[in-house]
Amino acid sequence: MSTMNLEPVPGRTDEMIVNMGPQHPATHGVLRVVLGLEGERITRAVPHIGYLHRNHEKIEEARTYPMVIAYTDRMDYVSGTQNELPFVLAVEDMLGVEVPDRAKKIRTIFFELYRLASHLVWMGTAMLDLGAISPFLYTFWDREIILGIVEKTAGARMLPNYYTFGGVRRDVHPDFFKDVADFLDHMERRMVDYEHLVLESPVVHARTKGVGVLDQERAVARGVSGPVLRASGVAYDVRKAFPYDAYPDVEFEIPTSPDGDTYARFWVRFQEMYQSIRILRQLLELTPKTGPYKGRAPARLKPPAGERYRAVENSRGELGVLVVSDGSDKPYRVKHRGAAFSNLQIIPDLFVGAKFSDAIAILSSLDPVFGEIDR
Amino acid sequence: MRPIPIPEDRHFRPRLIGYDPQKSRPWLERTVYAAYVFVFWLIVIATYAGVPALFGALGWDGGWGFVLMRVLQVVLLFLLSAVIALLLILVLRKYLGKVQERFGPMHYGPAGGIQTVFDALKLLAKEDFVPAAADALTFRLAPAVTFVASFAMFAVIPFASGWVLADTNVGLIYLIAVSTLSAYGVLLGGVSSGNKWALIGALRAGAQMVSYEIPLALVFLTVAVWSGTLRLGGIVDAQLGLWNFLPLALPFVLYVIASLAELKHIPFDFPEAESELIAGYNVEYSGMSFAFFFLAEFVELFLLPALIVVFFFGGWHGPLFGIEPGSLAAGALESLYFTLKTAVWVWIFLWIRATLPRYRDDQLMEFAWKAMIPLALFGLVLAAYMRLIWR
Amino acid sequence: MSLLQEVWQAVKAIGTGMATVHKRVYEEAPTEFYPYVKPELPPVSVQSLALVENEDGSERCIVCLQCERACPAQVITIERHRNPEGKGFLIDRFDIDLVNCMYCAACVEACPVSSIVTIQDFEMSTYDLQTLKADIDFLHEQARRARQWYSPKFGVELRTDDGRIEKAPPEMQPGGLAEILKPAEEVDS
Ligand code: SF4
Ligand code: SF4
């Protein structure tokens, strides 16, 4: 099991070694899992990653601080600005930059918009993995609206490079608040449909209930976070545990489920979308329409020598970054703590003993994004 | 390095053939479907009325002349199945497009109406590739087996009263035998491909077949017991007063579920399962071999709803408006009723396909063995009792 | 009884799902007809880069190398020499490797005179990647073809039909222009 390549057991003819990925449609990119299959049952599973490796951390060490922000975007490409925030927060801490209240709120609005977008992508692709085509196209259209709103302000759709030290790069578009409010109305209508198509569908129940159960101890021991952890009954959320930006100002709940199965992970993500809508509604009320969007950051960014770890609750879990500064204008070391990467570790635990079709459902419920896993 | 100068309009713009951006034209689409159905109808009339009339007029309706007539009818039916496949693929894509907030094919022909013809031409032009690891003979044979098994079902389908190739007394038994064969094609194709995904697909197809065939056969039996005949024409005739789906409600539901499984249709498309097995048993097929799998799939997508209509919805029955039964006009009208009823069922199947995710294969097996077979047996006994009491 | 209830629940849920899906048939599809109808992009949208010249055809760029320094992908290459008559520098070479550019617009933000700008010509597909290794003529050509462009310092600018460059009306400007127009101290306070 510990060897990277799965060798056939000598003398055993009932086991078939199958290579799932890296070009398999259900692996959300370039995951490769070598599976030992006994009929439909998985006997062994070895995940392989690294097919999308781009050497992010090393490149970032060779760039100045403002440049790094553009690179962090490229990690979890489904959830855009969420990746920028831990790095921005860490450097702001080191520099002691004051962030205006309004800038914090705008950042949080973008953060939650991208959470909705990311969960929509998850929902569509998960349903596609389970065999339903229609929800995929519905969710992608909703996500399109979010990306349109982001593009109007930030200039890009998926990799906006919008946060900066001390706030955001430019003020929001005049229509921004109205657009978001309209979108939330639209989204609330659509959530009813998604409930019908996803959460209430008996086929989804049959495919996911009791499948891939991750118990609480193992979830904590493996270091999973985010919806996967909360579906196992641990109410850990960085937004509550170590609040950042505007999260102390808004009310929201952390949905948890004691079951730990695939359905619980589906359910928790669904409830998170409702919570996101709730947070966004409050923030639309709270955010002043005009005001400063950026604090004063020094022109030459040279944080004092030292190190700082900051984490945020990204759509997939705790996304952290450790920045070590040696007092120059380039970070000495940048280490990202990827949420999807940590969540992926439980694949061998959950796959072994499951059916092959279950493996697809489990994988979709983990919602891996390979830009972040392979970095 | 000097960049190559960019011309002003440097981008490929597809030509506008029957296409108006910003606008969907439902009536044009409906006209296209109606045109396909009309062609379908014409072929049916030609097959079942035209050809026999022609041979009768020529006096060739005995001996070799009869054989020739049958061959001609089969050729026409092959044409019919091509029309069915073209229409159903078009409708499938259009309907899936509609429910998924997009348009489906739009560019070729009026409202995209001849897109599938181009697709078929493309498949014809493609290389028919046999992988090195495949068993070439079996690999090439498998699509033919699948297609022939589906196509052979046409022999006993009555399109109107008397409009049937073989009005045999063992029609139902023939159907059970032939429909089972199509799973062999899938099995052979999957096993001979030399691909692990195809092998898993074939295994799933085998496991699926043994689970749905039994309830399906039991439902056939129930219908036979209720109607008192194994002849499909007789089954339709027996529904003159009351269509079977009311007295045989339970077998009807079981039949719909089992035929979804037989079709390898969502929610039971395990042998293909794009997101799990990539394309399952046909992953290595290309060109015309693939097209024959496709053709077989869509011919079955017509035939199994057609059987629903024959068994439970009174086949060709419908108001005749005083036309004398048995005449050409009456046959034409009856076959139109039959086609339209079938179309409704095809649409329901497509609708299911647009909505539901996929079950897991062992769940179908569990359902088939633990629920469908007992229920089908119960339905059979119930039908027998009801028949004893009421008929 | 509970089994029957379960079956009924399942049938009802499937029915609701099917109704949910089918009701889309009566709604209008939000499809964009891209090759026939070009989408209207918001003015800040970063699709490509261009180097704007002044109305009289002289160079706006003062060759300060800010953009080269700010570029995270390090795809900008500028060579310059001192202007023999007068102040400043002249461009020898101004290349942007648009293949490796990641369209982060950091260069546009860094430029003190809004010479390098973002434009909205996204139809950059090509059979030959070498065509996207842009040199200064290419970048000027991009700017000449563009009807409008954006830079954080000047906001959206338009090119009129007779070739003049104008500031776009306020309703075309993206957010934050009020702050742009104000002196910098006010923004920070
Ligand atoms: S957009 Fe970004 S990557 Fe591209 S040239 Fe400008 S700074 Fe460099
Ligand atoms: S920052 Fe602007 S002015 Fe300076 S070199 Fe670049 S384009 Fe020219």
How far apart are alpha carbons B359 and C14 in whole angstroms?
A: 13
Which CATH code for domain C48-175?
Answer: 3.30.70.3270
CA angle C61, C63, C67 (to 5 degrees): 90
Residue A197, pLDDT > 80, answer yes
Query: C38 versus B352: which is more confidently predicted?
Result: B352
Give residue for tokens 């109205």.
Answer: A178
Query: B273 versus A366: which is more confidently predicted?
Result: A366
How far apart are alpha carbons A352 and B140 in whole angstroms?
A: 37
How far apart are alpha carbons A208 and A272 in whole angstroms?
A: 19
Give the start-to-end residue ranges of the domains of chain A: 56-374
Give the start-to-end residue ranges of the domains of chain C: 48-175
For chain A, give the percent of residues with pLDDT over 90.
8
For the segment A240-273, what is each residue's pLDDT rounded down to a tens digit?
888 888 888 888 888 888 888 899 999 999 999 9
How many C-beta atoms surround the C-beta of residue B269 within 10 A?
A: 23
**Predicted pLDDT at B4:** 44
Task: Check pocket membership of C134 for ligand 1, CB cut-off 6 A.
Answer: no
How far apart are alpha carbons A276 and A286 in whole angstroms?
A: 15
The answer to which of A70-84, B131-145, B323-337 has the lowest mean pLDDT is B323-337
**Predicted pLDDT at A120:** 92
**Predicted pLDDT at B15:** 52
pLDDT band for position B2 (cuts 50, 70, 90) = very low
Residues of C within an 8 Å Cβ radius of A: 9-10, 13-14, 16-17, 20-21, 24, 30, 41-42, 44-46, 70-73, 102-106, 109, 118, 150, 152, 174-176, 178-179, 187-188
B15 at C interface, C-beta within 8 A = no
**Predicted pLDDT at B1:** 38
CA angle A297, A298, A302 (to 5 degrees): 120
Q: Number of A:C CB contacts under 8 A?
A: 97
Residue B8, pLDDT > 70, answer no
Residue B126, pLDDT > 50, answer yes
Query: In angstroms, what CA-CA distances link B318 with A245, A279, B238, B247, B330?
Result: 70, 59, 14, 19, 10
Candidates A231, A196, A225; CA nearest to A212 is: A231
Task: Check pocket membership of C73 for ligand 1, CB cut-off 6 A.
Answer: yes
For the segment B33-89, what is each residue's pLDDT rounded down to a tens digit?
888 888 888 888 888 887 878 887 877 777 787 788 888 888 888 888 888 888 888
For the segment C92-107, what is each residue's pLDDT rounded down to a tens digit?
888 888 888 888 888 8
Which atom of ligand 1 lies at the shortest distance from residue C96's CA?
A: 5
8 Å CB contact between B250 and B217:
no
Residue A3, pLDDT > 80, answer no
For the segment C117-169, what is each residue's pLDDT rounded down to a tens digit?
888 877 777 777 777 888 888 888 888 878 888 888 778 888 877 777 777 77
Residue B12, pLDDT > 70, answer no
Q: What is the mean pLDDT of chain B?
A: 82
For chain A, give the percent of residues with pLDDT over 70.
99
Element (H, E) at B364: helix B361-367
Residue C186, pLDDT > 50, answer no
Cβ within 8 Å, pair C125-B11: yes
Q: What is the mean pLDDT of residues B345-367?
A: 87
**Predicted pLDDT at A4:** 61
pLDDT band for position B7 (cuts 50, 70, 90) = very low
How far apart are alpha carbons B100 and B104 in whole angstroms?
A: 9
**Predicted pLDDT at B22:** 52
The answer to which of A2-16, A215-229, A325-339, B96-110 has the lowest mean pLDDT is A2-16
Q: What is the mean pLDDT of residues B252-262?
A: 88
Residue A305, pLDDT > 80, answer yes
Candidates A65, A39, A45, A19; CA nearest to A350 is: A45
For the segment A306-363, what is each residue's pLDDT rounded down to a tens digit?
888 988 988 888 888 999 988 888 889 888 888 888 888 888 888 888 888 888 888 8
The answer to which of A96-105, B148-157, C179-188 has the lowest mean pLDDT is C179-188
Residue A221, pLDDT > 80, answer yes
| Nearest by CB: B100 against A39, A137, A207 | A137
**Predicted pLDDT at B24:** 60
How far apart are alpha carbons C103 and C119 in whole angstroms?
A: 11
- To the nearest whole angstrom, how far is the Cα of B21 from the nearest Cα of chain C? 6
Residue B232, pLDDT > 80, answer yes
How far apart are alpha carbons A337 and A375 in whole angstroms?
A: 10
For the segment C66-85, what is each residue's pLDDT rounded down to a tens digit?
888 888 888 888 888 888 88
What residue's CA is closest to ligand 1, atom 2?
Answer: C104
**B183 Cβ partners below 8 Å, 6+ apart?**
B205, B206, B208, B209, B213
Q: What is the mean pLDDT of residues A38-51?
A: 85
Task: Check pocket membership of C119 for ligand 1, CB cut-off 6 A.
Answer: no
**Predicted pLDDT at B323:** 75
Q: What is the mean pLDDT of residues A177-205?
A: 89
What does residue B355 show for φ and ψ, rounded to 5 degrees? -100, -50
Closest ligand, as measured to the CA of C52 = 2
- To the nearest whole angstrom, how far is the Cα of A204 from the nearest Cα of chain B? 7
- To the nearest whole angstrom, how far is the Cα of B370 from the nearest Cα of chain C? 14
Q: Which chains touch C (3 or more CB pairs under 8 A)?
A: A, B
Q: Which residues pair with A276 in a beta bridge?
A: none
CATH architecture of the domain with residue range A56-374: Orthogonal Bundle (1.10)
Give the start-to-end residue ranges of the domains of chain B: 15-125, 129-390
